[in-house]
Structures are given as structure tokens and as C-alpha cells.
């Protein structure tokens, strides 16, 4: 008998006897494993959250009640159980289902999520809205232990605990373990303190004592201290009680029937509730349970053995960064590395082992990480801050206020600059050029390949004129391609100076970073059509090589800018601003890049093609533009 085949929507879960829910969980895990092993994606936390997901949908009624999954990388079971079981086969595939919560997919997803620590704030907003609109519904935020330490999460907890609206925060803790003794005591104690009997009795006693003339208020305060003292013996949640939440936990996140009992109790208790649930990453898949860090996410793999399916082995920009950082730190004892819960993702694992005293993982706290780097710089060190482009957005104010305003030469290393593929719009790093270019004193670089990337990192460590950022794409270094450009060795880096790769009389192509090789290939295609193109590797989006750009643009029918970033405020806009300042006649200019919309998920190569950022499509666009700009013949 298949339990999962009978689940068309969350209401069907409630029709099952509680004794069958463990069987349903097993089938959901099998479904997740089948799809993720084929398509790749997040795995460990998703398997760990299955039982909790079933319990939540058994006790609450989405979308009337709302569940916001922080980050959304553990949302697989939620998708399967909310009418998307068949669509789940297209998980992370182009034109298929997103790998994260997505409000465009289902009414059961109130938010599209992908960044950490936002769930409590958004759920609290829903809770306040429910009260104002007199809506009898519950707002639930499910947040992981890594996200909870983020400053934004604590800001939301502080506010929600003060306002006292009906909010349930569930901490999905998959790092901590409970000893059998504490766990047993906690289980019994939580059942008791969450029960209606205890909470009615507690309320009646408090109100009765409060009415005692003169001493009632003092007695209530004393009784609360005793209550907190007893809780402190059994549970570790005094911090959340102090913030204004009723704390319950730790709970066994894989005992569905026990969780249902607690959830049914706490949803009747008014005010903010904090539920601490312990889960195991990779639950139900022994391979993932044994190495939760490795199996946080995976490329396609064999379920039976856990072996990753073979793919092309190419050196990545992340690998180049990690190796070069060790070389630089060996020679320069002032170099330190900072990342935000992405030691492996940014390539700093080996650095952290070799230089443990000079490596800092600040957790999911990008704002703190940037200001921390400012302090290190002021003290005389040379911090390299390695954060994905999409996550550095979270520290925008700190970059301006604590770094740029102070003219501090912090080095920002932006991994995943550009389109990242299957992770989609929450993770595409397409805004960094725009949000950094406007900052006074900021220098922006992007390499054409891995060799130039190493030169830029060397240049950055000696740059003392203010903050400097280097962005680089996800994936293999460009010189791994079959382009003729791979035989051209990059010249030394000079501040604000470009590199001429080829010259032609008709078109000037100004390419930035990841699209330099593409521009070079496009010029080769144009040559076959009789169009000669000059190709410039601009290297810097700020400062621009103004003199070279203006000189080489003279006599050209068209100037084209290429960037794997947002066109609004991006590199192309900088070139337009340069020509706008000129008093003499300027050429026709065409800017190509990421349009003013959020880009869907899909393979990077396919997305670039859709956006017209492949060599053949760039060449085609240039031919079209030249035809449009060509003056009509006189009759």
C-alpha cells in the first residue's frame, strides 16, 4: 500500500491514522532521494525535516495558516505534500520546479525564499496582519540553527516577544544532540506545560494572586522566577522566555505523534511560541547521516552507493581562489580570510586548516563580517572577505558606512558573480556591479580567466586606496575552453587599465569579466561576415579606462558593452555616463547584460542563451544594430 499516492493536498494527510504517518514519511524520503539523486540539490536538511513537515500539515491548514520555511532548502517534503508530487520530478530543472520555496508555484508558499534569517520577520508581519484584520489563523516560521544566530532573526524575536501576537517560531535544530536523560525529562515536561490544563491553571493562579491587596504584584513576580527556575532545570530555553516567548523543547523531531500532540497544544496558547525541535540531517539515508556536511547539497549521485555521478573535472574559479589565498598568506602574514558560513563554498577549507588563527567564519552574519573586516583593517591586517555576490547584498550599509566611508582597503571576493544556474533568482549574483559601482572610493575588477584572477588577487592585496572588489563566476575557469584566447597570457594588472585583445575598424566591444571570452568568440563570428571588431577586456568597471575607451571608439559605427550583471546601474551604464560627459559627437552604443527582471533557474549556459549573451547571439545582435544604425542612401 502506498500512503503517498493518496496525498493530493495537505487535507489528505489528516485522513490518515497517526500510526501510518511514519510510513508516509518513509515514502516521502524515498521520493526526495530519487529526484535529488537525479537532478542534484540540497539533501541533508530536506531529509531531516520530513517528519516535522508532516506534523505541521497534520495540525495546521495551509494556506489559511501560513508556514514560512527559512532559506527554503528544506522545503522538499512540503512541496510533495502540497499537490506538487508529480511536478517535483522537475525539481531544479529549467522550466520546472524551483529548488526553494516559491510563491509563484503554489498558494501554500507565502514567500519565495533563498536567503537566511528572514522567516521570523515575515511571519511576524503576517501574525500582526492577522490580528489587525481579525483573521483566525496562525503564522509559523521554521528556521534552522545556523540561520537563528543571524542578527536579523534576533531583531525579529525581540520585536515579536514585545508585541505578543500569535506567532509560532520553530527552531529546526539539526546540530545539537540530547542525552537520553534530559530528553526523557524534557518530553514529559513539555507535554505538561503545553497542556490546556496547565495553562488554564497557570493563568487562574496568577490572576488570583495578583488580586491580593498590596502584595499581589510582588508575589506574582516571585512565582514567575520560581517558574523560570524550574524550566531552567529541564529545558535550555530561558533566553527565549526572557525575550517574551513561551518556550517548549527540545523535542524529538522524528517522533511525529509526539510532535502532533505538542503542536495541537501550543496552537491554542495565545502569544508568541518558540518550539525547539531536534532533527538529524540526512535522516533515513545512512550515507548522508554519516557525513551531514558533505551531503548538505549534492550533484547527481547513485542512491545505493552514495557515489557522485562522474562529470567533467575542470578547475573552478573557487578552486583558484582557495589555492591563491594560501600562496598569498604564506608570504604576507597580515592576510586574513573571512567568510559567512561558506567555508567550503568559497574554497577556504584548506586555508582554514593551514591558517586557523587567520581564518574567521562569522556564520550567517554578513553584516557583522564586513564590519569585523573593517576593524581588522584598522588594526593593520589585510582581510579578504569571501562572500557570494547574492549574500553580500545583505551587508550593503556596512560596506558603505564602515568600510568605504572610512577609506579602508578591505578586499571583497565575490564568488558566484553572475548567473548561478539551478538555484535561481534568490542566488543569481547579478546586482553586485550595480550596488558597488555607486559607492565612492570603491574599485571593481573582474577577471577574464583563472590566470588573470590570480593577478587580480595579487593586485588587490597591495591596493591601499580604499575598498576593492573582485567578482568571479561559478564554474570552470575560462581557459579550460577551446577558445584561441586561452593562449593569450594576461598582462600585469594596473589600476583602471584595460587589455586590448584584438583590433578592428567597425565595432568596439567592451567586455567585462566572464563575457570576455564570449566577446572574443563573437568577434571571430563577425569577421566571417566582413565585420571587424575591436575587443577590449576592460578588467575594471570602476575606474574605467576612459582614455582608451574614448580613443578606440573614434570612427566606430557601434560600441557594445557586455556584462553578466544587471544593466540597471551596471558596467554598461558606466560607459554611457562616460560618453554623456563628452562634448564631441559620440558613437551609437548598445548595452547587453541582464535585463530589469528576476531571472529564472536553469543551466547557466541555457540562461545565457535565452538572454542573448552567447557568442552567436551577440554577433547576431551586433549585425542587427549595425543595420539599424546604418544611414539610408541618398536618392
Q: What are phi and psi of 285, to 5 degrees?
A: -125, 100
257 is catalytic: no
Give the cell for residue 132: 489587525
Q: Which helix (H) or strand (E) holds 28?
A: helix 21-39
CA-CA distances (angstroms) from residue 559 to 419, 442, 526, 584? 24, 25, 14, 16
Tell me which of 280, 281, 471, 474 is the catalytic residue.
Answer: 281
| CA atoms of 284 and 43, how far apart (whole Å) | 11
Per the residue annotation, which of 394, 448, 474, 556 is the catalytic one?
394
Q: Which helix (H) or strand (E) holds 52?
A: helix 50-59
Give the integer Cα–Cα distance in Å for 426 and 568: 18
Phi, psi of 608 (to 5 degrees): -60, -40
- Residues 437 and 612: their CA atoms lie apart, in Å, by 24
Place of cell 571593481: 444
What is d(CA 248, CA 266) in angstroms, rounded to the nearest whole number? 9
Beta bridge partners of 172: 144, 277
Active site residue 610: no
Catalytic position from the list 366, 367, 479, 563: 366
Among residues 123, 157, 155, 153, which one has the least CA distance to residue 139?
A: 123
Phi, psi of 413 (to 5 degrees): -110, 105
Query: Is 281 one of the catalytic residues?
Result: yes
CA–CA dist 591, 614 (Å, integer): 14
**Nearest C-alpha neighbor of 386 from the set 479, 476, 324:** 324
Residue 205 near residue 195, CB atoms below 8 Å: no
For residues 561 and 591, the answer to whether their CB atoms sit within 8 Å is yes
Nearest to 391 by CA among 454, 422, 345, 438: 345
Q: Is the peptide bond before 199 cis (omega within 30 degrees of 0)?
A: no
Helical axes 180-194 vs 256-266, angle rounded to 10°: 40
**Per-residue b or e along 407-420, where b marks 16 or more CB atoms closer than 10 Å to that residue's CB:** ebbbbbbbbbbbbb
CB neighbour list of residue 334: distance below 8 Å, 6 or more residues apart: 380, 381, 382
Half-sphere exposure of residue 345: CA atoms within 13 angstroms, side-chain side = 24
Q: Which of 123, 117, 139 is nearest to 70 (CA)?
A: 117
Write 202-210 long-range contacts (CB < 8 A, 24+).
202/227
Q: CB count, 10 Å around CB of 357?
A: 6
Sheet with 139-144, edge to edge strand ranges:
66-69, 139-144, 167-173, 273-278, 246-252
Cell (9 digits) for 137: 489563523
The DSSP result for 281-316, as a single string, is TTTT-HHHHH-TTGGGEESSB-TTT-PBPP-----B
> What CA–CA distance (Å, rounded) separates 509 from 520?
9
The DSSP result for 244-256, as a single string, is: TPEEEEEEETT-H
d(CA 494, CA 295): 42
Q: Catalytic positions, please? A: 281, 366, 394
Amino acid at each position: 500500500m502506498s500512503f503517498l499516492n493518496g496525498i493530493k493536498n495537505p487535507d489528505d494527510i489528516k485522513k490518515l491514522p497517526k500510526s501510518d504517518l511514519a510510513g508516509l514519511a518513509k515514502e516521502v524520503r524515498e521520493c526526495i532521494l530519487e529526484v535529488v539523486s537525479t537532478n542534484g540539490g540540497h539533501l541533508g536538511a530536506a531529509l531531516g525535516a520530513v517528519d516535522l513537515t508532516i506534523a505541521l500539515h497534520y495540525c495546521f491548514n495551509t494556506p489559511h495558516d501560513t508556514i514560512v520555511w527559512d532559506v527554503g532548502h528544506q522545503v522538499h517534503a512540503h512541496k510533495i505534500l502540497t499537490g506538487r508530487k508529480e511536478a517535483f520530478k522537475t525539481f531544479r530543472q529549467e522550466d520546472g520546479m524551483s529548488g526553494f520555496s516559491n510563491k509563484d508555484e503554489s498558494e501554500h508558499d507565502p514567500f519565495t525564499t533563498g536567503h537566511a534569517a528572514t522567516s521570523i520577520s515575515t511571519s511576524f508581519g503576517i501574525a500582526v496582519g492577522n490580528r489587525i484584520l481579525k483573521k483566525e489563523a496562525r503564522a509559523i516560521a521554521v528556521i534552522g540553527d545556523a540561520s537563528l544566530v543571524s542578527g536579523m532573526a534576533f531583531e525579529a524575536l525581540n520585536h515579536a516577544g514585545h508585541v505578543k501576537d500569535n506567532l509560532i517560531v520553530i527552531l529546526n535544530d539539526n546540530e545539537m544532540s540530547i542525552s537520553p536523560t534530559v530528553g526523557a525529562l524534557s518530553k514529559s515536561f513539555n507535554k505538561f506545560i503545553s497542556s490546556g490544563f496547565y495553562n488554564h491553571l497557570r493563568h487562574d493562579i496568577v490572576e488570583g494572586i495578583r488580586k491580593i491587596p498590596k502584595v499581589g504584584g510582588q508575589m506574582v513576580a516571585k512565582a514567575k522566577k520560581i517558574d523560570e527556575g524550574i524550566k531552567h532545570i529541564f529545558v535550555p530555553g530561558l533566553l527565549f522566555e526572557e525575550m517574551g516567548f513561551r518556550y517548549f523543547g527540545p523535542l524529538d523531531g522524528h517522533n511525529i505523534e509526539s510532535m502532533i500532540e505538542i503542536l495541537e497544544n501550543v496552537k491554542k496558547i495565545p502569544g508568541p511560541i518558540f518550539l525547539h525541535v531536534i532533527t538529524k540531517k540526512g535522516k533515513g539515508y545512512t550515507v548522508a547521516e554519516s557525513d551531514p556536511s558533505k551531503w548538505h547539497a549534492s550533484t547527481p549521485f547513485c542512491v545505493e552507493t552514495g557515489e557522485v555521478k562522474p562529470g567533467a573535472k575542470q578547475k573552478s574559479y573557487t578552486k583558484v581562489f582557495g589555492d591563491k589565498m594560501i600562496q598569498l598568506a604564506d608570504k604576507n602574514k597580515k592576510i586574513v580570510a573571512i567568510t559567512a558560513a561558506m567555508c567550503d563554498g568559497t574554497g577556504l577549507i584548506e586555508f582554514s586548516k593551514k591558517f586557523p588563527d587567520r581564518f574567521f567564519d562569522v556564520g550567517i552574519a554578513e553584516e557583522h563580517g564586513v564590519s569585523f573586516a573593517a576593524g581588522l583593517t584598522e588594526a593593520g591586517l589585510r582581510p579578504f572577505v569571501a562572500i557570494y555576490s547574492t549574500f553580500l547584498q545583505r551587508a550593503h550599509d556596512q560596506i558603505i558606512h564602515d568600510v568605504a566611508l572610512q577609506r579602508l582597503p578591505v578586499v571583497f571576493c565575490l564568488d558566484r558573480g553572475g548567473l548561478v544556474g539551478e538555484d535561481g533568482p534568490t542566488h543569481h549574483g547579478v546586482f553586485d556591479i550595480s550596488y558597488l559601482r555607486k559607492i565612492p572610493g570603491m574599485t571593481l575588477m573582474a577577471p577574464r580567466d583563472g590566470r588573470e584572477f590570480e593577478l587580480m588577487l595579487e593586485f588587490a592585496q597591495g591596493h591601499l586606496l580604499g575598498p576593492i572588489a573582485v567578482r568571479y563566476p561559478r564554474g570552470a575557469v575560462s581557459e579550460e575552453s577551446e577558445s584561441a584566447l586561452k593562449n593569450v597570457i594576461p598582462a600585469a594588472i594596473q589600476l583602471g587599465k584595460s587589455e586590448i585583445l584584438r583590433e578592428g575598424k567597425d565595432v568596439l566591444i567592451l567586455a567585462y569579466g566572464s563575457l570576455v571570452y564570449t566577446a572574443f568568440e563573437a568577434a571571430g563570428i563577425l569577421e566571417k561576415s566582413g565585420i571587424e571588431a575591436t575587443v577590449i577586456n576592460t578588467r575594471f568597471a570602476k575606474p574605467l579606462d576612459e582614455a582608451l575607451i574614448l580613443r578606440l571608439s573614434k570612427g566606430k559605427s557601434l560600441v557594445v558593452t557586455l556584462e553578466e550583471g544587471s544593466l540597471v546601474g551596471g558596467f554598461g551604464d558606466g560607459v554611457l555616463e562616460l560618453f554623456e560627459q563628452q562634448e564631441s559627437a559620440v558613437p551609437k552604443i548598445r548595452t547587453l547584460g541582464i535585463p530589469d527582471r528576476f531571472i529564472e533557474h536553469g543551466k547557466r549556459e541555457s540562461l545565457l542563451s535565452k538572454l542573448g549573451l552567447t557568442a552567436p547571439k551577440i554577433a547576431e545582435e551586433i549585425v542587427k544594430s549595425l543595420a539599424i544604425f546604418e544611414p539610408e542612401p541618398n536618392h
